[in-house]
Copies of this chain bind each other. A is one copy, B any other.
Amino acid sequence: MEKVTCTAPVNIAVIKYWGKRNEKLILPINDSISVTLSSDQMHAKTTVARSKSFANDRIWLNGTEENIENPRLANCLKEIRKKAQIDAEEHFHICSENNFPTAAGLASSAAGYACLVYALCKLCKVEGDFSEIARQGSGSACRSIYGGFVQWHMGAAESGEDSIASVVKEAEHWSDLRILILVVSDERKKVPSSKGMKTSVETSTLLHHRATHVVPDRIKKMRTAIENKDFDTFAQLTMADSNQLHAICLDTFPPCVYMNQVSHQIVRLVHQINQVSNRTKVAYSFDAGPNACLFLPESHLNEVAGYISNFFPSNADNYFRGESIQPQNIPQDAIDQIDLEVQEKGSLRYIISTKVGSGPEVLEASGSHLLNSEGLPTGVISC
């Protein structure tokens, strides 16, 4: 029995992916660009094992065995079997977990599928690009195959072979860019993003215009902004494109509403901070959920954290997590300039401080495996 254990990062799109032209192959209607987050704070970890002694393929996610017949998972396994010419007698055992609570509603499928595909490719010694395989598990997973700033090219081929991710710039290129994940309290059931984007493609009369006329220009400008470490342009594009994603969701019928009142108050705070500062200190981005992802230069981190602490007071310890952060005490005259009510305690559950990170990694230490020598979960789930 051979086994490999890997970690893979989460990524946050700054030019958003919303809408497929091919549901089965997961081919998007526009390019997207994302920032890969450091695995130190958030990652998926996966151990994969192959053996002729396994009766069939099996998968355990966060401690529970799941159905291996999931079509997206099946697509990934099929692709890897084909590329590595694994014969039908040999089977895989897969065990995966996230080091952040899935209950927080933070996109975990991208990290999860990237990790699974990366680990299987390493195990089976597949060469070349892994992002095309990861894409077939979850579209945005293809971007988690790389670190730094990553572009997912929509491609043109019907086969999907050119719908792959590539690095715009490595993480080290813009090392003072920091990220805060604001985890918003929310119990509402959301429309899953795959279902939401399908309905958008079918019903929005604005989405096609976005994909063909708005995004291509934004992709060019975003690439340039990243290359030049031009935070102002990066921030404006990131916010505008997040807003447009949620505009398209509202233009969907029936409408998909992912942001809640707290999300909108975060948007308001960000614009107010930038306005009273007469410069762009911080930008927001929201995926298909209420949590905010803030991007900011390290030089503004403690100040912005101070504003957040003031307007979104904590009701618990351990409010700021992850990378070290020292929220500034904002003077009252600066607070008074912000046109926003102090929000109810606990509107934000907690805040994860992180930065730009690298792509998936193989863990060499033998103690890191999630499958034991029989290919079964080690049992202790470290969440």
Contacts and interface: CB of A to CB of B under 8 A. Distances in A.
Contacts of A214: 205-206
Nearest to A263: B257
A165 to B, nearest CB: 25
A173 to B, nearest CB: 27
A83 interface: no
A211 to B, nearest CB: 12
Interface string A229-252: 000000010011001101110111
Nearest to A207: B206
23 contacts: A189-B339, A205-B210, A205-B213, A205-B240, A206-B206, A206-B209, A206-B247, A209-B209, A209-B213, A240-B251, A240-B253, A243-B250, A243-B252, A243-B253, A243-B255, A244-B250, A244-B251, A247-B247, A247-B251, A250-B250, A255-B267, A257-B264, A257-B267
A308 to B, nearest CB: 18
Contacts of A209: 206, 209, 213
The dominant DSSP class at the A interface is: helix
A326 interface: no
Given A244-B250, A261-B261, 15 more contacts: A189-B339, A203-B240, A205-B240, A206-B206, A206-B209, A206-B244, A209-B213, A244-B251, A247-B247, A247-B248, A247-B251, A254-B267, A254-B271, A257-B264, A260-B261
A378 B250 CA distance: 48
A251 B250 CA distance: 10
Copies of this chain assembled into the complex: 2
Q: How many interface residues does chain A have, given as a range?
A: 20 to 34
Interface of A: 189, 203, 205-206, 209-210, 213-214, 236, 239-240, 243-244, 246-248, 250-255, 257, 260-261, 264, 267, 271, 339
Contacts of A210: 205-206
A97 B339 CA distance: 31
Contacts of A257: 264, 267
A114 to B, nearest CB: 30
A210 B248 CA distance: 12
A255 B244 CA distance: 10
Contacts of A205: 210, 213-214, 240, 244
A244 B255 CA distance: 10
A184 to B, nearest CB: 12
Contacts of A239: 253
A45 to B, nearest CB: 35
Contacts of A251: 240, 243-244, 247
Contacts of A240: 203, 205, 251, 253
Contacts of A261: 260-261
A210 B244 CA distance: 14
A246 B250 contact: yes
A252 to B, nearest CB: 8
A178 to B, nearest CB: 22
B253 A250 contact: no
A248 B264 CA distance: 16
Q: Which of A244, A251, A254, A267 has the most chain B CB within a 10 Å cutoff?
A: A251
Contacts of A267: 254-255, 257
A250 B251 CA distance: 10
